[in-house]
Amino acid sequence: MLQWEVHGQPQQAVWHSEAGRASPPRLQVADDRMAADAAYRLICEGTALLWQGDFFNARHLLDALKRRIDKPRGKAQKHRQPPLAEHRLAGHRLAEHSPAQAAQAFHQQRQTQARRAHILGSILIPLTGDYRIPLRRAPDVQAACTQAWGPGDGNDRVIALRELQGIVSAYEWRKNGVAIPALTALGAKGAYDRIHPHYGVFSPVRGEYVDLVAQTPLPADGNGSSTTAWDIGTGTGVLAAVLARRGVAQVVATDTAARALACAQDNLQRLGVAAQVQLLNADLFPPGQADLIVCNPPWLPVRATTSLEQAVYDPDSRMLRGFLSGLAAHLRPGGEGWLILSDLAEHLGLRSRADLLAWLEAAGLRVLGRIDTRPRHGKAFDTSDPLHAARAAEVTSLWRLAAAE
């Protein structure tokens, strides 16, 4: 519980953080009289600010904090590049020759991002037990919060304004959906071609990996067709939907997150393929064997700090190594495992190609082939990105794997 006073009256509310942040050790009430410089100083000293003024002024304060974080400090830096730009250039020169240097630049960027997230996450907003914001000119966020958390439990809450903005943004993403051209190409005329990501479930905005699964020839069983397929770590259900649209008669999709399973069920029903897909709460594999087993694990072997980051970060490559080590035992004779993996971790010095090949050999797997594609997302072409050199060199691959003979 967080406790504070307003006009001498004690107040309290439950601390809520989807990012898993600890409750702030120091809390100060702030309103429209709070200057941005004063707010920045207090936050840097470890004090979170609970906003009690006009809602739009809280947003203005957040924007002012962003400008202060991004502004180069001191006259000495006026005519020189900021540190992150220097790391970017160093990475550009050394990415192919010094994995350690690339890894250092990556970890430095994560530290910078964490500091930024801490500062911007220190402007807090109250929420009533039915998800209303008791501030002047506050928007209606009840539908967005209900969709993310379920019905209100009657307890007042305090949440970071940035997280609340993320909930509202996710609500719009879910309402509008994300266009998936591969689903359109595989669907009947007039069929839905969008995936609607739920809050806390990673959106399939990188379409190149979906295209790989949509275009790679399916392995054939003894009857000349692929009749069973598994989608390991299904998330939004997009790959399970692609396999179903390709004519796979029975797809089993697994995940351990309740939000992901609910999201996948929603999307599969929207796409008209729910009858072909069975959803299971399972860590990696369901019981039995399949003709085709597909897995798109998180691509970077570092610790995740939020639920969304778990779709990108996989500490010690746990999911990747677990998939590889169990794959051979779950493949039917003549079956294939499809591993969708970016080599970004290799360009960042976080994992080597030799590591991946050694895991394949240890798991009793052989490579039947590999289909590569280049990323199409904006960061691959953003030269201001500190990790631009690694992103520009990135290749996403579908590895066709089989049990060693």
> What is the domain-level CATH number for residue 300?
3.40.50.150
Kindly state whether residues 24 and 169 are assigned to the same domain.
Answer: yes
183 inside domain = yes
pLDDT of residue 239: 97
Q: How confident is the model at residue 8 (pLDDT cuts 50, 70, 90)?
A: confident
What amino acid occupies position 55?
A: F
Kindly state whether residues 13 and 129 are assigned to the same domain.
Answer: yes
- Name the least confident of 167-171, 189-193, 239-243: 189-193
Inter-residue contact 312 to 300 (CB < 8 Å): yes
Kindly state whether residues 220 and 142 are assigned to the same domain.
Answer: no
What mean pLDDT do residues 310-338 have? Answer: 92
Kindly state whether residues 168 and 115 are assigned to the same domain.
Answer: yes
Kindly state whether residues 342 and 292 are assigned to the same domain.
Answer: yes
384 inside domain = yes
Note down the domain range covering 135: 2-73+111-174
303 to 91, 110, 274, 349: CA distances (angstroms): 22, 11, 33, 15
97 inside domain = no
103 inside domain = no
- Note the pTM of the prediction, 2 decimals: 0.86
78 inside domain = no
pLDDT of residue 379: 64
Q: Answer with the one of 174, 192, 220 that is the final residue of a domain.
A: 174
pLDDT of residue 333: 93
156 inside domain = yes
Kindly state whether residues 189 and 56 are assigned to the same domain.
Answer: no
Instruction: Encode 254-290: b = buried (16+ Cβ within 10 Å), e = exposed.
Output: bbebebbbebbbbbbebbebbebbebeebebbbeeeb
What mean pLDDT do residues 119-135 have? Answer: 96
47 inside domain = yes
87 inside domain = no
Kindly state whether residues 160 and 209 are assigned to the same domain.
Answer: no
Kindly state whether residues 69 and 185 are assigned to the same domain.
Answer: no
Kindly state whether residues 212 and 313 are assigned to the same domain.
Answer: yes
Kindly state whether residues 133 and 33 are assigned to the same domain.
Answer: yes
Q: Answer with the one of 174, 189, 213 that is the final residue of a domain.
A: 174
The closest of 108, 133, 128, 129 to 54, measured between CA atoms, is: 133
Domain tally, the chain: 2
pLDDT of residue 95: 42
Kindly state whether residues 130 and 234 are assigned to the same domain.
Answer: no
pLDDT by residue (tens digit) across 143-183? 999 999 999 999 999 999 999 999 999 999 999 999 999 99
Q: What is the mean pLDDT of the chain?
A: 87
Q: How confident is the model at residue 83 (pLDDT cuts 50, 70, 90)?
A: very low
pLDDT by residue (tens digit) across 244-271? 999 999 999 999 999 999 999 999 999 9
Kindly state whether residues 269 and 377 are assigned to the same domain.
Answer: yes
